[in-house]
Amino acid sequence: MSAVPTNVWINAAGKSPHDWIVERMTTTNIAPDGSFEIEASDGKVTVERGFAVFQANDQVYACLPKFVQDKLALAVGADNDVVVDLASRTAAMRDQKAAHTAKSRARAASEDYQLKLKPMIGIPPSPQFALIGSLEVDDTYQRSIEGGPSKKLIIKIAENWDWRLCLPLLVSRRAGKLFVIDGQHRKEAAELRGDIPHLPVVIFDFDDPKAEAELFIAANRSRRAMSPLDDFHAAVVAGDPKAMAVNDAVIAAGLNVGRIQAWQHWKPGEVVFVPTIQRALSSKGPAIVGQALSMIARAFDGLVLTGVGAVFHGLCVIIQQRQREQKPIDAELMEIVLKEVGIPGWREVLEGVNSGEDRANIMCKALLEAYAEAEDE
């Protein structure tokens, strides 16, 4: 009885599962993120990117590579020579990595360590005070402060103003005006108080909002996490190709990317499922993405698009599938179907379903069934 895995496959971009894996798949399609589900010898497993799938003694297991040793022990026994050898080598590699890390830290702390300095970026800023009324905010890349958390933070800063915590605001001087790059909450809190005429600032000279947006991203990412929508809008202004592709597709469909994550503040025609659109652009292409977004825009015209991300994903899958079958979707008919069921109806389809893969499959099935009924009529 062999103790060594007879087949090993790693889930990576562009790699198709082997036949012995396909035989155990419990999902019809591979998800956009590359994951799929199999019936392994120890139960159902979602095989994500980076997972190893292997056979041993006619049994199949799937896990991250670092857990192969544990899975292999299930198949052949923990005291098997191969498992013992693998455990020994894994421990040795772990010890080697720890020793290397310790050596690197010791070298960094040593007085003899030579810093590897990169060229400085930009020129020194001009520290000074500025009138609050002279400070403006460029909404094209700045985070929105309309949401509840931002308003609460502004009130908290205003009520408990502490000059010891008021670091200088990062400000851009552009075309004779001063734009706040970092420090918008402090500026709003000072204005709210009404008794602070000046704020400390460091001023940089920039020619356009693109350079400001790049500094805004760098300042915020180095200190604290930005919301995905804040990051997205700043990336668009900074000229990031992926962000611009999403923004172009959304605008071309007659929609807009929202600025606030909380659904209570969404406006009609705003979409916030940016990552879903990005993945669809990569896997389905701009034509299919544009068609799906346009269907949504026309079917739900004037409505707040809560929970429509799953509908968009389902439409992209169906449009691509029907194109391969040379039975293209009738856009007008699909828009009628979307409108008749309505946003609340499509949300109800996924009620109680938490798994992303299950949600995708259920929505695709519901869309196909509703469309097929409309075609028969």
Burial of 35 (0-12, 13-18, 19+ CB in 10 A): middle
pLDDT tens digits for 163-198? Answer: 888 889 989 888 889 999 888 899 999 999 999 999
DSSP-derived pairing of the beta strands 126-131 and 59-63: unpaired
Whether residue 20 has pLDDT greater than 80: yes
Residue 297 confidence (pLDDT): 95
Pick the CATH number of 127-234 from 3.90.1530.10, 3.40.50.300, 3.30.70.890, 3.60.10.10: 3.90.1530.10
Burial of 235 (0-12, 13-18, 19+ CB in 10 A): buried
Q: Band the pLDDT of 106: cuts 50, 70, 90.
A: low
Range with the poorest average pLDDT among 109-113, 242-246, 288-292: 109-113
Whether residue 2 has pLDDT greater than 50: no
Q: Which two tokens stand for residue 240?
A: 């990031």
Long-range CB pairs of 102-109 (<8 Å, 24+ gap) are none
Q: Band the pLDDT of 15: cuts 50, 70, 90.
A: confident
How far is the C-alpha of 338 from the C-alpha of 348, rounded, in Å? 13
Residue 85 confidence (pLDDT): 62
Range with the poorest average pLDDT among 76-90, 143-157, 322-336: 76-90
Question: Mean of the pLDDT values across residues 313-319?
Answer: 93
Task: Kindly report the number of other CB atoms within 10 A of residue 166's CB atom.
Answer: 16
Task: Return all residues near 65 (Cβ < 8 A) that are at least 6 apart.
Answer: 10, 50, 52
How far is the C-alpha of 59 from the C-alpha of 46, rounded, in Å? 17
Whether residue 1 has pLDDT greater than 60: no
Q: Are 10 and 54 in contact (CB under 8 A)?
A: no
Q: Which two tokens stand for residue 109?
A: 């702390």
H or E segment to which residue 340 belongs: helix 331-349
pLDDT tens digits for 216-262? Answer: 877 776 655 567 888 888 889 888 899 999 999 999 999 999 988 88
Which three-class secondary structure string do you get for 90-132?
Answer: HHHHHHHHHHHHHHHHHHHHCCCCCCCCCCCCCCCCEEEEEEH
Residue 4 confidence (pLDDT): 62
Domain ranges of the chain: 1-117, 127-234, 240-376
Residue 111 confidence (pLDDT): 58
pLDDT tens digits for 112-130? Answer: 667 788 887 777 777 899 9
Q: Which two tokens stand for residue 17?
A: 């599962």
Nearest to 294 by CA among 329, 346, 345, 341: 329
Task: Give the range with max mean pLDDT: 81-90, 102-111, 328-337.
Answer: 328-337
**For the chain, counts of helices (H) and of strands (E):** 13, 12
What is the percent of the chain with per-residue pLDDT over 90, rounded to a whole number? 34
CA dihedral 20, 26, 32, 33 (to 10 degrees): -70
pLDDT tens digits for 57-90? Answer: 778 888 887 777 777 766 656 565 655 565 566 5
Residue 334 confidence (pLDDT): 93
- Phi then psi for 211, rounded to 5 degrees? -65, -35
